Chains A and B, each alone.
Chain A
Amino acid sequence: MELPEKIKKDLEKIEDEKLRKIVEDFSYKFIIDPGEPAGIVAAQSIAEPTTQMILRSFHFVGISAQQVSLGLPRITEITDAKKKMKQRYMIIRLLDEYKNDLNVVQNVAKKIKELLLEDLLSSITLDVFENKIIISLDKEKLKNEELTFDEVYRILKKKIKKYKVESDKQNIYVIASKLSARELYLLKEMVKKILIKGIKGIKDATIYKDEKNNEYVIYTVGSNLLEIMKIPEVDYTRVYTNDLREIEKVFGIEATRAAILQELVKLYEDQGLSVNVRHFMLVADMLTWYGTYLGINRYGLHAEKESTLSKAAFETPISIFVRSSMMGQSDKVLSGIDNVIMNQPIYLGTGLYDIYFVGNKKEDKE
């Protein structure tokens, strides 16, 4: 067996040849044994300390303006590959030339903050007889956001293409003559959510001074990676989001793997629990192994398993048996659980290898 490349490279740095030889020989003592159940060890190493995790109380003042899920809930969020994450946030850093200019940073923060029509309304009502929606805007709010009535009207006209949008300088009307009352109501709800300015999904943006790197950073509530990266002032190589699904969508699966790894390492470090990075690597690799980011639950990784018994041992065995028998599946009994159920030695550790004795005598075959 040869040492992996990475270690060989390190070894070359030792100048004393004799010492290098000794260290090299010694290095073999560190290499993992074939048959080692790396998966189980990783799972145990990650899951065992979760019982000790603390729900952190009030330690940050200032650092983050919003609640960020931590500890066990966050781990389950990552390993479940949840589509709708609860507390998404971004950390946006600007290009070198802007990063110390508070004005620019404030501008960017203002620019990205999402502003919906409902934030500007003084009222929105339905006219069921004439089938129209009456929108009246709050002048105070408009002023605060540096918008005029006409601007909002234009944006609405642009965004609502299906129906006619009119204005009489007082109110804006959306006329949808053919809709039923119920459909009109749904339309109203939709109109309320129309984006007037900013970036969709960015609920709030606050500026903090990063003392370590001596720059201003923007923390946001909500996340929209692609749109944020398009902003010219933003250094898109240093944008951070905690939404792994979004990273998958924008950057692809390898980036997701790296992000999962980073998130997990950070999570355990914050809790003061030491877990070797190799275990997280294995989990991150497994979560992204199928080419998409799958969660560890009965709809994700467990559903993708080949073996029926392995799936059945997890959850909902009946529907799994029904499906397998319908599709006429066949299992080679290779998986650990399958063999435990069959009461046979498993293919792990010492079970992975057989010992053959080569004798002199020719013995009869059984």
Chain B
Amino acid sequence: MMDDIFFKRISEIQYSLLSPDTIRKMSAAKIIVSELYDEDGTPIRGGLMDLRLGVVDPSYVCETCGKTAGKCLGHFGHIELARPVLHPEFLPIVKELVNAVCHNCGHVKLTKEEREFALNKIEKYKNAKRWNKLYKFIVKFVYSRAKKRSKCPVCGYENPKVEFRKPFHFYVKDKENERRMYPVEIRSIFEKIPNEDLPLIGFDPSSSRPEWMILTVLPVPPVTMRPSIVLETGERAEDDLTHKLVDIVRTNQRLKEDITTGAPQVIVDDIYNLLQYHVFTYFNNTLPNVPKAQHRSGKPLKSLVERISGKEGIIRRYLLGKRINYSSRAVISPDTKIKPNEVGIPLYVAKTLTVPERVTEWNIEKMREYILNGPEKYPGANYVISPDGRKRVITEENKETIASMIAPGWIVERHLMDGDIVLLLRYPSLHRLSMMGHYAKILPGNTFRINPIICRPYNADFDGDEMNVFLPRSEEARAEAEFLAEISNNYITPRYGDFIVGMIQEMITGLYLITQDDVKIPINQAAQLVYMSNANDKDLDKLSNIIKKAKEEGRDYLTGKEVASIFLPDDFNFENDKIKIENGMIVRGYLDSSLIKAEKGRLFVVLYKLYGKEYLTDLLQKYSLLGIYYQYNLGITMSISDFDLPKEAKEEIKKIVDDTQKTVDDLYKQYTEGTLERIAGRSLQETYELKSMQTISESVTKIQDVLRKYMKKDTGTYIMSVTGARGDWQNAVRMVGSLGFQAFRGRFIDFGYRGRNLSIFERNVYHPKYHGWVISSYRDGLKPWEMFFHALPGRDSLMDTAIRTAQSGYFYRRLVLSLYDLHVNDDLTVRDAYNRIVQFVYGGDGVAVHKSINGKLDVNLLAQILKPYVENNKDGTTRKNKKGSRKNRR
């Protein structure tokens, strides 16, 4: 099987029109009969299901190539049309051209000077491959000039004006007499166009002639392109194209007979128009002004054009979207105990997805073991492929025989095992971090497991999200998945150059709390924490050193900072306004969201650049576990009493609301009296709306300050928001303060009934209280009308989101399709597919965002980080190049 396939690269595609001769030459059969099958159901020779056009029915063999159904790709046939017929897609060009050339001599109606000028221009554009400019020039210059001229500058013939009438008639005025111009005549005019004039009208003489735009021979697509389906009832259902072709053949035969028998002109014309209509709707059934060809049921037939174009067309559906085997999909669930660069895969999936492994003399024993385990027992194997390419299924019965057969050179399709690289994908794949490589970890259960710290790049949560797993099967694909796509190579996002993975939710809280100044953890508990956080030998050494030091100092506890420092390298130094790390120990400050949170993670970027991906993968997990377990031990939780406010606070809030009300009342008075000073460029009403909305939003800010002052500081909610794990002051204000103004598209809520938005209000009172101001908070509960005010913008924003996703999806498509060819060359220039330079140095400095720290190469920052290596007389660059062994591999 493998020997049949030639690996050659298509290096060039030439486009041209099909000439009648070419169509006849590539045709395997001339179609003359409109019937498809005879009485016993065999395809009729010369009919549209002719066996020479290829086969789809497994009981026949192709008469042209001798192959069976599935193997035979199909062969074209042809129909000799009784009269030339217009092609709908070429009609716009025919319309222009028939008025641009001389009907007598066939020359384009241009003067000598114009001709020379045009030819030069065309030559220039053609050499530069500016096809679009070339086409525009021809339309703007050649066609428009030649069309206006009736007298031919070459032969002096006075050309009549040809008029086009929908859908496909041409009329010509000959001395006040109007007569129809048939495609035959147009074709004969086009035939006269000399080859040297062809470039002028956009044609390339070596590949296309204008008369070929008008069909004399119609190619018939192979049967494989329009297979018939046998329904359950035993009836045959033919493809839409076949139906249309039957119409064409039938009409064509009738036209031919009528012409030969000398039928009256009116009848011939009628049939001719019918044939023209059938050909039009065969090519394109969405033409304006042409009635749609329909099934008997009234459903419109699907034409050739509809097959190709659009989102569901051949190009976008099948040619650009490839479908594959060896993939799986399942719901995801979190697992903090697996590494960030692993994915937990259910046993059931692992037994179905198979990895092709070549048998060598070194692994043959192992392979035999897998085969003997069979498809059911894990780790087993499902298939073997012998060197001649034959694939054998392993069953309980034949597994012993196969195990004895295999030899070096065979391929065993073994089950997926721990350490195999797979690609993990979550839709929508908006950036390249939506599909990354992970090492498989076979686990019981039925879901894919991922570590929650990698949720961010996938934008995943666990409320029922599903993800796909693909198995790269060739050695190249595996290498790329492992060394390029693997997640630890992609910790830094190419969007802005910070760590995209990192701590989320309670991990941040835990780490924030453990690094506070006065945290004392008894030694035994500290050791337990470190052990639970997946510590390795090096960490334990550091732990014992720290404990030793603590005991020397007479302490029976470790500080939280010491515990958090255990996982840092001994020679690491870092300093900013938040934290100071000296020789791997946190000496000042604490870890908070700006340093460790996903999408920020400044600390991690620096560590990543210095110590490499293996270290970081471990560190991320250790820190996440440390954070989780620490906050778990503390027992941080959230309750409604977190929002209890003292009396003074409530009074202050009430005062703020009352003050706001007064101001707003005042504004309303000014507005009704018309004394309000207008903002330049805005109407009185707009000014009033803006000012009152501003007043109310200021009141919300004031309430926020009150909450800051009075809210209990030792509650779970407060800690959560201070650490940056979740929630902010805006949320707090909404919960206990006041919701503020619910603007609808930046304005008051002002519709519904006449002069009011709810029937409970008085008419024509344009006061914020009745048009969107929600004074209550979630905790107090909303008044009925406030509930409606609150629901309205919420609903609006849902609509808005739905529309925006569609818009931004289209924007994305356009942007990607215009930029996808740009790449960086080995001289750091950015070039397109044709090697044309777009940028001389990528981004001006050649720095890759996903290899940078915060999107830039800050030499000063580097000098600061790397300084210790000068003092210690070490080479800073070599240490992170140490070859890390992938410990999770078998």
Binding site for B on A (CB under 8 A): 1, 3-4, 6-7, 10-11, 13-14, 16, 18-19, 22-23, 25-27, 29-51, 53, 55, 57-58, 61-62, 65-66, 72, 75-76, 79, 204, 206-207, 221, 274-279, 281-283, 285-286, 289, 296-297, 301-304, 306-310, 312-314, 316-319, 321-338, 340-344, 347-350, 352
Tell me if B713 is interfacial: C-beta within 8 Å of chain A: no
A220 to chain B, nearest CB (A): 10
Q: Report whether B876 and A330 are in contact in the complex, using a CB–CB cutoff of 8 Å.
A: no
Q: Report whether B848 and A36 are in contact in the complex, using a CB–CB cutoff of 8 Å.
A: yes
Tell me if B573 is interfacial: C-beta within 8 Å of chain A: no
Q: Report whether A65 and B208 are in contact in the complex, using a CB–CB cutoff of 8 Å.
A: no
- With A46-B815, A51-B805, A352-B823 as known contacts, state yes or no: A327 contacts B862, CB within 8 Å: no
Return the contact of A274 from the options B495, B747, B822, B870 (Cβ within 8 A): B495
Excluding A43-B815, A325-B208, A328-B207, 17 further A-B contacts by CB distance (< 8 Å) are: A6-B841, A22-B869, A33-B824, A39-B822, A40-B816, A44-B812, A48-B812, A65-B682, A285-B839, A301-B818, A313-B817, A328-B14, A329-B15, A331-B12, A332-B834, A336-B821, A348-B823
- With A30-B848, A31-B851, A332-B12 as known contacts, state yes or no: A44 contacts B431, CB within 8 Å: yes
Please measure, in the bound complex, the distance between the C-alpha atom of A66 and the C-alpha atom of B792, giving whole angstroms: 25
Q: How many B residues are at the interface, by size bracket?
A: 35 or more
Tell me if B867 is interfacial: C-beta within 8 Å of chain A: yes
Q: Which residues of B contact A289 (CB under 8 A)?
A: 838
A160 to chain B, nearest CB (A): 31
Q: Report whether A7 and B857 are in contact in the complex, using a CB–CB cutoff of 8 Å.
A: yes
Q: Report whether B15 and A308 are in contact in the complex, using a CB–CB cutoff of 8 Å.
A: yes
Return the contact of A22 from the options B690, B812, B877 (Cβ within 8 A): B877
B270 to chain A, nearest CB (A): 29
Please measure, in the bound complex, the distance between the C-alpha atom of A329 and the C-alpha atom of B13, giving whole angstroms: 8
Tell me if B206 is interfacial: C-beta within 8 Å of chain A: yes
Return the contact of B855 from the options A46, A276, A338 (Cβ within 8 A): A276
Return the contact of A45 from the options B131, B494, B832 (Cβ within 8 A): B494
Closest to B201 in A: A326
Q: Report whether B842 and A38 are in contact in the complex, using a CB–CB cutoff of 8 Å.
A: yes
Please measure, in the bound complex, the distance between the C-alpha atom of A4 and the C-alpha atom of B844, giving whole angstroms: 8
Return the contact of A34 from the options B432, B826, B862 (Cβ within 8 A): B826
Closest to B862 in A: A23
Q: Which residues of B contact A331 (CB under 8 A)?
A: 12-13, 15
Return the contact of B870 from the options A16, A38, A46, A319 (Cβ within 8 A): A16
B638 to chain A, nearest CB (A): 26
Return the contact of B830 from the options A50, A274, A282 (Cβ within 8 A): A282
Closest to A353 in B: B826
Please measure, in the bound complex, the distance between the C-alpha atom of A281 and the C-alpha atom of B819, giving whole angstroms: 12
Closest to B496 in A: A274
Q: Which residues of B contact A301 (CB under 8 A)?
A: 818
- With A45-B495, A58-B690, A317-B309 as known contacts, state yes or no: A327 contacts B839, CB within 8 Å: no
Please measure, in the bound complex, the distance between the C-alpha atom of A348 and the C-alpha atom of B841, giving whole angstroms: 18
Tell me if B645 is interfacial: C-beta within 8 Å of chain A: no
Please measure, in the bound complex, the distance between the C-alpha atom of A281 and the C-alpha atom of B847, giving whole angstroms: 13
Return the contact of A328 from the options B15, B680, B691, B849 (Cβ within 8 A): B15
Q: Which residues of A contact B816 (CB under 8 A)?
A: 40, 43-44, 47
Counting from the closest, the 7 A-B pairs by CB-CB distance are: A328-B204, A39-B822, A65-B681, A39-B819, A278-B843, A32-B848, A328-B207
Q: Report whether A32 and B859 are in contact in the complex, using a CB–CB cutoff of 8 Å.
A: no
Q: Which residues of A contact B834 (CB under 8 A)?
A: 306, 332, 334
Q: Which residues of B contact A206 (CB under 8 A)?
A: 680-681
A-B pairs with beta carbons under 8 A, tally: 351
Closest to A17 in B: B870
B481 to chain A, nearest CB (A): 11
Q: Which residues of A contact B850 (CB under 8 A)?
A: 41
Q: Report whether B681 and A66 are in contact in the complex, using a CB–CB cutoff of 8 Å.
A: yes
Q: Report whether A330 and B838 are in contact in the complex, using a CB–CB cutoff of 8 Å.
A: no
Q: Report whether A326 and B93 are in contact in the complex, using a CB–CB cutoff of 8 Å.
A: yes
Return the contact of B804 from the options A39, A53, A221, A321 (Cβ within 8 A): A53
Q: Report whether B842 and A57 are in contact in the complex, using a CB–CB cutoff of 8 Å.
A: no
Return the contact of B811 from the options A35, A50, A303, A328 (Cβ within 8 A): A50
Q: Which residues of B contact A57 (CB under 8 A)?
A: 743, 745-746
Closest to A44 in B: B431
Q: Report whether B830 and A38 are in contact in the complex, using a CB–CB cutoff of 8 Å.
A: yes
Please measure, in the bound complex, the distance between the C-alpha atom of A43 and the C-alpha atom of B817, giving whole angstroms: 9
Q: Which residues of B contact A329 (CB under 8 A)?
A: 14-15, 131, 204
Q: Which residues of A contact B691 (CB under 8 A)?
A: 61
Return the contact of A79 from the options B129, B693, B814 (Cβ within 8 A): B814
Please measure, in the bound complex, the distance between the C-alpha atom of A8 and the C-alpha atom of B603, giving whole angstroms: 26
Q: Report whether B863 and A38 are in contact in the complex, using a CB–CB cutoff of 8 Å.
A: no
Tell me if B221 is interfacial: C-beta within 8 Å of chain A: no
Tell me if B316 is interfacial: C-beta within 8 Å of chain A: yes
